[in-house]
A and B are shown apart, each in its own frame.
Chain A
Amino acid sequence: QKEVEQDPGPLSVPEGAIVSLNCTYSNSAFQYFMWYRQYSRKGPELLMYTYSSGNKEDGRFTAQVDKSSKYISLFIRDSQPSDSATYLCAMSGQGGGSYIPTFGRGTSLIVHP
């Protein structure tokens, strides 16, 4: 079992839908939780960053972390065709070599007009 599990999809939704993307993890030492967005034939870029538990909101995007369940989510409100991309979750700990992030496999999202 991988340390970070993420459903690869694809997830296809109509424009305007609320999208929920999720990852589960097994390493309780993870403290930093990140979501990267990767457009086709491009490098990943950081979308959201959360430390420990709780929620973080940035425009149409909300990141949630539930450390008790080892479960993180990314919500996209009013999804747009331009949101079509692969979304990768990543996690890391504190100290020693644990700062090296562990990535999920990525979920492919398709938002159709």
Chain B
Amino acid sequence: NAGVTQTPKFQVLKTGQSMTLQCAQDMNHEYMSWYRQDPGMGLRLIHYSVGAGITDQGEVPNGYNVSRSTTEDFPLRLLSAAPSQTSVYFCASKKPLGSNYEQYFGPGTRLTVT
């Protein structure tokens, strides 16, 4: 199993540009989520999904969109990049709901917005 994969690893955007961060998992996990990690702020939840076709907002959803058309994929879209979105982004997936088992994290995408 590849686990949770994320692409790209690094990205530099100009203010106002849009892009999609890709996330895929091959563990048939129902629950997937996106976090951003900033120095001193820990992991903050952006959006999450409990299954294909179902998404919901986390703690810091503004400026980001998600969709979940398949169990495997959970892309994160930045609509109009802003310098405040400079961060490291992690995708995570989790075993079936209600089990509270561990989340598996991807390697992260380092995004810089100039």
**Chain A residues within CB distance 8 Å of chain B:** 6, 8, 31-32, 34, 41-46, 49, 51, 88, 92, 94-95, 99-101, 103-106
Contact = CB atoms under 8 A, between A and B. Distances in A.
Contacts of A42: 107-108
Given A43-B106, A99-B100, A101-B103, 7 more contacts: A43-B105, A43-B108, A49-B102, A99-B98, A100-B33, A105-B40, A106-B42
B45 interface: yes
Contacts of A45: 105
* Secondary structure type dominating chain A contacts: loop
B90 interface: yes
Interface string B92-110: 1000011011110111100
A46 B104 CA distance: 8
A14 B3 CA distance: 35
A41 B45 CA distance: 19
A51 B99 CA distance: 11
Interface of B: 4, 31, 33, 40-43, 45, 48, 58, 90, 92, 97-98, 100-103, 105-108
B107 A100 contact: no
5 contacts: A43-B106, A44-B43, A100-B33, A103-B42, A104-B42
Contacts of A44: 43, 90, 105
A84 to B, nearest CB: 17
A95 B41 CA distance: 27
A101 B45 CA distance: 9
Contacts of B33: 100
B107 A43 contact: yes
Given A44-B90, A92-B100, A95-B98, A103 B43 contact: yes
Q: Which 5 A-B pairs have the closest CB atoms?
A: A43-B105, A105-B42, A46-B102, A103-B43, A32-B100
Contacts of A41: 108
Contact of B48 (A8, A34, A100): A100
B106 A88 contact: no
Nearest to A2: B42
